[in-house]
A = this chain, B = another copy of it.
Amino acid sequence: MATPQLTKNQTLVMDALSHSEGPMSAYTILDKLRDHGFRAPLQVYRALDKLLEYGLVHRLESLNAFVACSCPHDHEHDHGVTAFTICEGCGQVTEFHDEAIEQRLSALTRAQSFKTEKTTIEIRGHCQSCA
């Protein structure tokens, strides 16, 4: 998916997430953007939907929150499975990719003829500093 030019709202949400230390909930984003004219949750959710579609943002299911993708390269191509470690102490989220896990999951789903559309891997715990 080639990323099209972002709209005004999408840019605002993307910037908010990019400049944030950690993940943000949709409502936290909303609050950050009130000064920029945001009034309702839907403005955030609509922007997030697109950003997720473009692969610029990830949703953390276990937090009901969102983070900017940390991949440095462009988002023209799919990165396969994305996994996260999430520190309960400081909230730090680290994104990583692993070919071995990807292949193993692929083999397991193929064995049950399951057609994968989206894979969620989230590891909650404590980072080195917070252990």
Task: State whether the Cβ of A50 lies closer than 8 Å to any Cβ in chain B.
Answer: no
Residue of B nearest to A60 (CB): B61
| Selected interface stretch from A14-22, A30-38, A105-113 | A105-113
A116 in the interface (beta carbon within 8 A):
yes
Judge whether B113 and A88 touch: CB under 8 Å: no
Q: B128 near A124 (CB under 8 angstroms)?
A: no
Choose among B61, B114, B119 the residue that contacts A61 (Cβ–Cβ < 8 A). B61
Docked complex Cα distance between A119 and B61 (Å): 12
Chain B residues, CB < 8 A from A105: 83, 101, 121, 123
Interface size of A by CB at 8 A reads 33
Query: Are A109's CB and B128's CB within 8 A?
Result: no
Q: Are B98 and A108 within 8 A (Cβ)? A: yes
Taking a contact as CB atoms closer than 8 A, the residue among B87, B94, B118 that contacts A125 in the complex is: B118
Pairs A–B under 8 Å by Cβ, sample size 14: A61-B120, A61-B122, A62-B120, A94-B114, A96-B108, A104-B104, A105-B121, A113-B127, A113-B128, A116-B125, A117-B124, A118-B124, A119-B121, A120-B120
